[in-house]
A and B are shown apart, each in its own frame.
Chain A
Amino acid sequence: MTELFIIRAIIAGIGVAIIAGAIGCFVVWRRMAYFGDSLAHSALLGVALGLVMGISTNLGTIIICSIFAITLIWLQQKKILATDTLLGILAHSALSVGMVTLSLLERSIDLHSYLFGDILAVTSTEIYFILFGGFFVLIFLYCNWSSFVLMTIDEKLARAEGINIVVNQLSIMLLMTIVVAVSFKIVGLLLITSLLIIPAATARQLARSPELMAIASSILAVFAVILGIYSSLILDTPSGPSIVVASTLIFITISIFSFLFKKNL
């Protein structure tokens, strides 16, 4: 029985790591770290929605985070307030409404596991969510790769070459929404951004092309997740922070190596 849940956690972790690693590159390139963080904060409202409506918390998260992304783009178009102000307002009000709703619920909820991840909580349904969501994200990313990359390099150039900027921006945000929705059980809402950013930042030092950077980032994230889950089981630590510690250690190690190597050149 113990082994089954470990296997479930590992499968879930690898699935999450692959998509988070790839999408994480766009978070780094497009400087969307604060957006990712805000999205994850608002996911708590999604969890509350899921519990209140009696639907899956993953689905609740996808609904709330999508509304969050669309509201943000809509407010951004108005150009009255700066994006980081808008994000701050949206994220923290969503987080607070989520918290208030959760406290009003009459059953006890392990808030800690939502915020920092709990691999024990991974159910078979969630594995399906991860596999299905992950598959969708990868296919979508593969089909739109060149457009996303070109838009990231220069929006004006991309627009002149016939790429719809708003649609593509929204697509990237919705892909991030799926990543947040499927990964919060593993890494926790508060730490999702680090799984997006740290492997991508590590991969930047190794890769010479955007494609290789995304692949390297995914592989590094898989390593971090496996290492994190393993140490979390042995040391009985929360899974999210363990994964983040693992990916930070990988980041530091590779940074040192790449620094030494480049110096010798």
Chain B
Amino acid sequence: MSFLIQAKDLCVKRHNKNILENVFVNVKKNDFITIIGPNGAGKSVLLECLMGSFVPDSGEIIKKNNLSVGYIPQNFNPESSMPISVKRFLTLKKKFTPQELINIASETNISEILEKNLSDLSGGELQKVLLARSLLDEPELLILDEPAQNLDIKNQLNFYNLLNSIYKNRELSILMVSHDLHMVMSSTKQVICLYHHICCSGEPQTVAKDPEFISLFGNDMAKMMSVYQHTHNHSHQDILND
């Protein structure tokens, strides 16, 4: 069995609207897949289906036995009325030795902030802490939902560099929702462009040339991926206009 997790023909309907239509995803060992798509395209629902916290109306999810998954949520905003140190947060419901904690803290550059209060951290620090927490289970697959959404450009770069080095050192697989395609271009191996259905997928260079991709994201995005110049009228025009 070469795959870690597979989504087969997923369909999700909510209030008579199709959120996901016939979506297939296959994550293999050492994959780095980035899912892109406009707001409300069903990206988060797809991730929730894959993690088993949302049951699709039809289709199935097949997982490798004992697959361990690390997850980084979208919009992580710890409640400030709860005093909790980074260290205590990392140890909540996790089992590991003190040495493992030290190793992971230095791997993710959070050794200096372990004693800090969680709600006092900056956005960039919080993302690194979440990354550290997800690594404590030695995951084979990391699932990230727009991990750098609220970060400034410098912190975005730092975060993606860190993620990239973890990907290389640990030989794990990454499945990520991200709009920062220009940032992950160098590391991501496969891009899935989702708008309820899978519009196109493949290597970043190929996807950037796809008419459906251009109609969803516009020529500028395609240019940013520096491969293609082309005007194309297509059925997804409504999204560009609003």
Mark A residues whose CB is within 8 Å of B.
25, 28-30, 146-147, 149-150, 152-154, 156-157, 159-161, 204, 207-210, 212-213
Partner of A147, one of B51, B82, B93: B93
Bound-state Cα–Cα, A156 to B53, Å: 9
B79 at the interface (CB under 8 A from A): yes
Which residue of chain A has the shortest Cβ distance to B54 in the bound complex?
A159
Cα distance, A96 to B84, chains bound together (Å): 41
Please indicate the chain B residues that have their CB under 8 angstroms from the CB of A152 in the complex: 79, 82
The 4 closest A-B pairs by CB, nearest first: A160-B71, A156-B73, A146-B93, A29-B82
* Sample of 8 more A-B contacts, CB < 8 Å, known A153-B79, A156-B74: A30-B79, A156-B71, A156-B73, A157-B73, A159-B53, A160-B73, A207-B83, A208-B117
Pick the residue among B84, B85, B143, B145 that contacts A153 (CB under 8 A): B84
B76 within 8 Å of A (CB atoms): yes
**A158 to chain B: closest residue by CB:** B93
In the complex formed, the residue of A with least CB distance to B76 is A154
- For window 51-96 of B, CB contacts with A under 8 Å fall at 51, 53, 69, 71, 73-74, 76-79, 81-85, 88-89, 92-93
- CB neighbours (8 Å) of A30 from chain B are 79
Known contacts A153-B118, A154-B78; A160 and B83 CB within 8 A of each other: no
Among A153, A161, A208, contact of B71 (Cβ-Cβ < 8 Å):
A161
With the chains together, A204 CA to B80 CA distance in Å? 10
Complex Cα gap A212–B84 (Å)? 10
Interface of A is mostly: helix
The reply to whether A208 and B78 contact each other, CB–CB distance below 8 Å, is no
Q: Which of A29, A154, A160, A213 contacts B51 (CB 8 A)?
A: A160
Could you say which residues of chain B place their CB within 8 Å of the CB of A157? 71, 73, 76, 130
User: Which residues of chain B come closer than 8 Å to A28, judged between CB atoms?
Assistant: 81
Chain B binding site: helix, strand, loop or mixed by DSSP?
loop
> Shortest beta-carbon distance, B126 to chain A, in Å?
10
Contact B84 A210 (CB under 8 A): yes
Residue A209 contacts which of B71, B81, B85 (CB distance < 8 angstroms)?
A: B85
Chain B contacts with A in 81-116, Cβ cutoff 8 A: 81-85, 88-89, 92-93
CB<8 Å pairs between A and B, sample of 23: A25-B82, A28-B81, A29-B79, A29-B82, A30-B79, A146-B92, A149-B92, A153-B78, A154-B77, A157-B73, A159-B53, A160-B53, A160-B69, A160-B71, A161-B71, A161-B93, A208-B83, A209-B83, A209-B88, A210-B82, A210-B88, A213-B82, A213-B83
Q: Is the CB of A208 within 8 A of B73?
A: no
Q: Once bound together, how far apart are the Cα atoms of A28 and B80, in whole Å?
A: 10
- Chain A residues contacting B83 (CB-CB under 8 Å) are 204, 207-210, 212-213
Most B Cβ at <10 Å: residue of A146, A150, A153, A204: A153
A149 to B91, alpha carbons, bound, how many Å?
Answer: 12
Query: Is the pair B81, A150 in contact by a Cβ cutoff of 8 Å?
Result: no
In the complex, the answer to whether B93 meets A153 with C-beta atoms within 8 Å is no
Whole-angstrom distance between the alpha carbons of A204 and B84 in the complex? 11
| Least CB separation from A206: chain B residue | B83
- What residues on B are CB-neighbors of A210 within 8 Å? 82-84, 88
Kindly state the separation between the CA atoms of A207 and B84 in the bound complex, as whole angstroms.
9
Q: Which of A154, A208, A213 contacts B85 (CB 8 A)?
A: A208
Contact B92 A150, beta carbon cutoff 8 Å: yes
When C-beta atoms are compared, the residue in chain B nearest to A28 turns out to be B81
Q: In the complex, what residue of chain A is closest to B84 when comparing beta carbons?
A: A210
CA distance A254 to B78 in the complex (A): 25
